[in-house]
Chain A
Amino acid sequence: MTGTLDQLPDRLDDGATQFVSGYPARPGRLLPFGATRVPGGVNFSVYSNNATAMALVLFERGRRDPVAELPFPPDFRVGGVFAMTVFGLDTDRLRYGYRADGEFHPEAGDRFDRTRVLTDPYATVLAGHEEWGTRTAADDPYPYRAALAPDDFDWEGDTPLRLAREDLVIYETHVRGFTRHPSSGVAAPGTYAGLVEKIPYLRELGVNCVELMPVFEFDETDNMRTDPRTGRQLVNYWGYNTVGFFAPKASYAVTGRHGMQVDEFKNMVKRLHRAGIEVMLDVVFNHTAEGNELGPTISFRGLDNRTYYMLTPEGYYYNFSGTGNTLNCNHPVVRGFIVDCLRHWAAEYHIDGFRFDLAAILGRDQHGAPLANPPLLEALAHDPVLRDCKLVAEAWDAGGLYQVGSFPDYCRWSEWNGRYRDTVRRFVKGDPGMAGDLATRLLGSPDLYGRRGPAASINFVTAHDGFTLRDLVSYNDKHNEANGEDNRDGDNGNHSWNHGVEGPTADPDVLRLRARQTRNVLLLLLTSQGVPMLLSGDEVGRTQSGNNNTYCQDTEDNWFDWSLVDTEADLLEFTRLAVALRAAHPALRRARHADGRADGGFFPDVSWHGTRAWTPDWSEHSRLVAALLYDRGDGGADGHDCVYLAANAYWEPLELELPSLPEGWTWRVAADTFADAGHRIHEVGREPELGDQEWARIGPQSVLVLVAGSGGAG
């Protein structure tokens, strides 16, 4: 039979059928969209429903002006898709874009502009902004130049880690900020490669998932404001401002100037995976960098404005994102675009999960109305490629849609639990009426996620958006003057408390209380059911000088100061041990909600206590919560896991009667934030025995964690 195969002619479709502007070409394959390597050439496919004509514009690396423009012949178009295969291109040097012709008729939704070269929405590499902070030259005919990414990375067998959601400890960080500070000591500060050098630190801390703030190519120079105090130009540091959804940010790669950001990024993922750390990306599909009708035309606006954006009846941009425009997420074409994009990151980059910025927008229809069953969210929940990816929603938007606990989840989505953040903050600072609510939050918010399980709740007290933990206990009010908006920007409802002095102080009493409150928060976070998320730097007391909206600050206020690893060694050690405590106790990270039933073990899976055992105080004035969390394991002799967790927000110490233990069991002290430095938390297995086995003393404004079992320490 092989002889027969050998006699077959070459495929008929792998050669040119005609010349277009001098280039050998043939009608392309319609799918996939974007530029794809095919034998002997590159297949280009781009969508526009309303363009009257389209041209492929070819550039070359290092040359400002185009080298050729190839209009799509009429027979290269099917429906709203233009496709052409061009042969003999040097993909290493190739840069390409599109020129779309059509009506400029904003009232009807069209804003075609044939003077522009447009970026391919599916571009896997964008060239032109390899150096952080470089503004586009006014005369650049094509600022963000699409190019082809290599897709032959040697993964050495790497796969996503597929850790159970309830076992995750997420660490939210920013690629640039993590190692940009001179103290980082890495070879390439502020890059993917720099992050790789800090993997040992992450391992030591014990986190097993890094959540990276936006890494899709964005325009950090779109900020026109200056710091009024210094005159310094402000930027868009956070990067919630996407230009290219398929392209990793080039200036986060030290090798970006060689066009190798894709390799550097993939190497980072491979190395994190090898260290047992998952990679979650913060993705921004609610809007693009094109802004409103005054913004730049980069890609979508010029390709098909009324497909990609939500438009008012007058043709203006709806602004549910608070940034000028809103991506038309539930338009079938845009929905496909988003699914394709996430598949690209999951398949090509081995990404483990996604956190969706202002995800409530993803559930709005084309006129902005919330949908009961949003096609996009359902498609993502059931997508075959994304099956093992974590999906996390920031379940609100800037248009007033707040869906914490009610986000359309398909038993698949988790949520940033804003309610958790507020309750822990308020309880810890001593607000009345919080005891009952804290109890619910500690259990994984069954009131919000009863059907979905604790892992639907991403628990956090601080995140990039807002105060750092140190600032949360050091400032009553935000101090955002440096952002150039007279301190009007940023959230006013912080539930923060400075403990007596606003900002830095040398007062030892204030500092002692702040140190304890910091540890109270960390300990509650890491003993709560659900998925804890730490803000990078909180483990070493990072400060933003009271700024709770540092989106624009490319300064030391945002950069991780690595000298804190030494000066805040006690806090770092406390955090490390709190993470280890969580990892050691299955009772703290249940896959299903505890319901207070005994199920055959020594205790119910959760029971509530007070100054007297089995007697919680849920009254309005109560500032004490005490829980016994119990997991009977597999029923074997050593399978029992028993953790007693008490949080006291009173100004006085309390004596707590402990629930009686089975014969032969002892209480041991895992953590006590009221203890002296160095004794506040203990290594797993080395917890000291509690002196009085029937009563425990909890200090004022403190958290106490006891563990019980039949085995001795060590």
Chain B
Amino acid sequence: MAFDVTTHAEDGVLTVRLTGELDSRAAHRFNEVIGAVPGGTVNRLVLHLAELVYLSSAGLRCLVFAQQKLGRGTEIVLVGTRPEVAETITMTGFDRSVTMQDPVDS
């Protein structure tokens, strides 16, 4: 599945839908989206990951980059994360920096 990223911003909430594989080849596209966010305008980043099938080491770093770029005050919510992607996030300890939700909660 080819990587795709779509975004929607409203009332300080940036919603991003990721599709396919987030690896080093896709990472720059995600980073561009995050990098284009004006400072201090987003207090909540919601990542819809139900169609994200693979998260590589470089992909995980995108999430770290997003957290650092948006600041610790920005809540990052991962919605609908598939088990194999969730495992990567949990077992490397990054889950402690984000909120993970089922799709129904969003």
Contacts and interface: CB of A to CB of B under 8 A. Distances in A.
A193 interface: yes
Contacts of A254: 87, 91
Interface stretch (B4-12, B30-38, B57-65): B57-65
A271 interface: yes
Contacts of B93: 196, 263-264, 267, 270-271
A458 B83 CA distance: 44
Interface in B1-58: 23-25, 27, 54-58
A271 B58 CA distance: 22
Contacts of A258: 54-57, 88
A267 B92 contact: yes
B90 A187 contact: yes
Contacts of B88: 255, 258, 260
B57 A150 contact: yes
* Most A CB within 10 A of own CB, among B23, B58, B92: B92
A92 interface: yes
Q: Sorted from nearest, which 9 A-B pairs have the closest CB atoms?
A: A92-B24, A267-B93, A193-B91, A263-B92, A92-B58, A255-B91, A254-B91, A264-B92, A150-B57
B91 A259 contact: no
Interface string A550-580: 0000000000000000000000000000000
Contacts of A270: 93
A271 B88 CA distance: 17
A188 B64 CA distance: 23
Interface of A: 90-93, 150, 152, 154, 187-188, 191-193, 196, 253-255, 258-260, 262-264, 267, 270-271
A198 to B, nearest CB: 14
Nearest to A271: B93
Interface in B60-106: 60-61, 64, 87-88, 90-94
A192 B91 CA distance: 8
Given A90-B24, A191-B91, A264-B92, 4 more contacts: A92-B23, A187-B91, A258-B88, A260-B57
Nearest to B85: A258
* Most A CB within 10 A of own CB, among B25, B54, B60, B87: B87
Nearest to A265: B92
Contacts of A187: 90-91
Contacts of A267: 91-93
Contacts of A264: 91-93
Nearest to B65: A152
8 contacts: A90-B24, A93-B24, A152-B61, A254-B87, A258-B54, A258-B56, A258-B57, A260-B56
Contacts of B91: 187-188, 191-193, 253-255, 260, 264, 267
Contacts of A92: 23-25, 27, 56-58
B24 A91 contact: yes
